[in-house]
Structure 1
Amino acid sequence: MDYWNALYSNDSAPWVIGGPQPEIVALELAGGISGTVLDIGCGTGENTIHLVALGYDVHGIDISPQAIDEARRNAVAHRISPDRFTVADALGLGGPAYDTIVDSAVFHTFDPEHRLAYIRSLHAGCKPGGTVHILAFGPHVGESDIRRAFTGDWDIEEIRPARYRGRITESIAARAREKGWPEDGLIDVTAWLARIRRL
């Protein structure tokens, strides 16, 4: 938790881009969001706020209290209730269960052992027949990692190449230089977008 809090407190979290992820925006436009929604690992709340503004019943959770504090401030600035955000562990989902779960860059943060615990937690947090959308950072996981993780009571309906938008910050500046990325600003990197049905 200290690691995540530090990234938010010194404004070096590269996934905080000042708005929702473009892939999540496109996902909603394509009809991929329905019913009650959980934004897991919501960070500073941009995806949640975007979906709430469109009329969805969304709750955002994150393990970082610093992130949730910022998400609540962002919510107030957008005239949305800050109560939509809660500090919670992605490995401890239970009731209530949701119709749609959005995972924007959470799955790939877990090693294989904790990934299994995460999948069990998603199963507990998703209604039967509900949908989990995974936007996973391509350089960290492959399509096969997603397929291996979601077995048993899951139906993988689609996995497709996608893009994940990040921000060049101090925390990734060295890597950005190695890869020839811009020294600052936004950059889109390879990702996977999976649509998975809970059976």
Structure 2
Amino acid sequence: MTQAAEFWNTVYDNDTAPWVIGEPQPAIVALEREGWIRGRVLDIGAGAGEHTIALTALGYDVTGIDLSPSAVEYARRNAAGKGVPAAQFRVADAVRLGADAAAAAELGVFDTIVDSALFHIFGQDPDNRAGYVRALHALCRPGGVVHVLALSDTEPGFGPRISDSLIRESFGAGWDLEELRPSRYLGRATALVADNVAGLDVSEDGIVNAAAWLARVRRQ
């Protein structure tokens, strides 16, 4: 079962989130440079808000959502500190949006959805994973694209790692999986994952370079 908002609040309140690295993921930055971020953008599971902040600064219309109120407050402070106070964040449960038509309609539909390290937390939770994919379908306009950056099980790692087959199986009817390829994900060696980083590629400043998948999925 996936963690409740209270758990995520504690992680942000204590600054032990291993995914908070102070900058956007290089894989997501590369997507923007390659022209894959278009139109209205949803940063789903925005966390510290790095992708919302970076894309807003580049002129995109972006909304970042997260289940955790502490994450949203962290992201707002982060945006202000980086001189991007226009970055938009709100508290929302990404799973429930698939069944709550009114809440999904309030957010509207998006041309591009960026998922950086959210999908993989549902790896052992098929019901919530299915609900999450339904939410993505409700929030993505027909012809729009979802980018998923998820930790890979091809190497030892510090978080919930998944297989490429799980991604393929999850995006079936209503989706076209256009690309699924190996990538990398940067994390932080915090106390929360101290037992899992031994033997991994950890830099002198505590940044972990982990195997990941990068998928591009188009809504039919």
| Native 8 Å contact 1:42 1:62 kept in 2 | yes
Percent identity, please.
55
Count, aligned residues: 198
Amino acid at match of 1:109: I
Which runs of 5 or more residues in structure 2 are unaligned?
Answer: 98-103, 154-160
Q: What is the 5 A alignment of 1:1-199?
A: 1-81=5-85, 84-93=88-97, 94-95=104-105, 96-110=108-122, 111-139=125-153, 140-177=161-198, 179-182=199-202, 185-199=206-220
Question: Using a 3 Å threshold, how does the CA distance of structure 1 residues 188 and 123 change in structure 2: closer, same or farther?
Answer: same
For 1:145 and 1:77, how far apart are their aligned partners in 2?
38
Question: Using a 3 Å threshold, how does the CA distance of structure 1 residues 104 and 172 change in structure 2: closer, same or farther?
Answer: same
Q: CA deviation at 1:3?
A: 1.0
Instruction: Give CA-to-partner distance per residue, 1:78-122, whole Å, 9 cap, x none.
Output: 332356000111113312010000000000101222111110010
Q: CA deviation at 1:18?
A: 0.4
Q: CA deviation at 1:184?
A: 5.5
Amino acid at match of 2:38: S
For 2:168 and 2:149, how far apart are their aligned partners in 1?
14
| Native 8 Å contact 1:134 1:193 kept in 2 | yes
| Native 8 Å contact 1:71 1:82 kept in 2 | no
| Native 8 Å contact 1:147 1:156 kept in 2 | yes
| Native 8 Å contact 1:68 1:85 kept in 2 | yes
Instruction: Give CA-to-partner distance per residue, 1:126-183, whole Å, 9 cap, x none.
Output: 0011000000111311110000000011000000000010000000011112x35548
Amino acid at match of 1:187: V
TM-score for both structures, normalised by structure 1: 0.95
| Native 8 Å contact 1:133 1:196 kept in 2 | yes
Which runs of 5 or more residues in structure 1 are unaligned?
Answer: none
| Native 8 Å contact 1:98 1:126 kept in 2 | yes
Amino acid at match of 1:91: V
Amino acid at match of 2:144: G
